[in-house]
Structure 1
């Protein structure tokens, strides 16, 4: 366990602070939030099918 890498801030790589974990600062937390809200991060998925298309298979 002693050789396990410690988690780092996902934005800048600095050690996280307890009050803003997993980030090192409120600034990095805001950067991450901005990326989510602007659509920079996305979960890959297939487009949803319409109900009309389902009955045609």
Structure 2
């Protein structure tokens, strides 16, 4: 629930997930370098669930 910004120098991607998403510290996440990243959309979710 922290809103503190943590700089991560050299990071190519940052994955932010919701609490209780099932993702845990240490889980592996892989993006294929050949993947078309333009097909992904970032949405900001408000506390009421709207985007």
Question: Which TM-score band applies after superposition, normalised by the shorter structure?
Answer: under 0.3
- Between Structure 1 and Structure 2, the one with more helix by share is 1
TM-score, with normalisation over the residues of structure 1? 0.18
Larger relative contact order, structure 1 or 2 (CA cutoff 8 Å, min sep 6):
1
TM-score, with normalisation over the residues of structure 2? 0.19
